[in-house]
Structure 1
Amino acid sequence: MIIRLVLVLGCLSLCVAAWSVAGPFICSQQGLECKVTIFDCLDKGWLKVYKYTPSHPEDLQVSVDIRGDESGHLQPVLEASWKLKDDGGIRDLNATELNVMMWSTNANVCVRYSLKKQLPMRSPSGEKWSFSANMLVLDPEINHSNYDVSKIVVVPGCEDAIMQITRFCIERGSLWRPGITAVSRESTLAVSFTPDPLCEEYIVIVSSSSIIIDTHTYKGNQTTLNATFKLDNWPKTCCQFVIEIKPIFLQCGTDCARKRRNVDICPGPSAVKPTEAPNVQVYTFVTVGVVFFCVVLTVMMCLLCRKPRKPAVIAPPVGDEIRQPQQIKQRPKVLVIYSQDHRLYRDVVLKLCAFLQAQCGTEVLVDLLDTTSIGVVGRIRWLEWQRQQLKNSSDKTWCCAREAFRPSGGPCAAKVR
Structure 2
Amino acid sequence: MRTLRTTNMAAIYATLVWFFFTTGLAPSSFLGILNQRPDCNQAGLDSCQMNNCSVRHALVPRQRAPTGPEWGSEYLGVRLVNRRPVPVMNVTWTLRSDASILTLQGSELRIVDKSTKQSLCVYFTYSISQQLRFNSSKWTFSLAGVVVEAGHSYMMSAFNLPEPDVGDYRITKQVTVPGCNDKRIRSSQMCLENGSLWHPEVTPVLLVGKHHLLSVVVGFRADVYSDLYQVSIENRGVHLSQNVSRVGGISTSASAAEEHPECFQVEGRRKVVIIYSLDHPLYRNIILKLSAFLTARCGTEVVLDLLDSTRLGILGRVQWLDWQREEVEGSSAKILLLCSAGVQAKWRAMCGGKTLLLKEDQRSPTGDTLTPALSLLLPHLVGSASLEKYIVAYFGDVCSPEHVPWPFHVVVRYQLMKQFEELFFRILDTEKHGPGRVQHIRGLAEDKYHRCPFGRALQEAIQAFREYQLENPHWFQEECVNH
Q: Give your verdict on TM over 0.5.
A: no
TM-score by length of 2: 0.24
TM-score by length of 1: 0.27
Q: Which has the higher helix share?
A: 2
Q: Relative contact order (C-alpha < 8 Å, sep 6+): which is higher?
A: 2
Greater Rg over alpha carbons, structure: 1
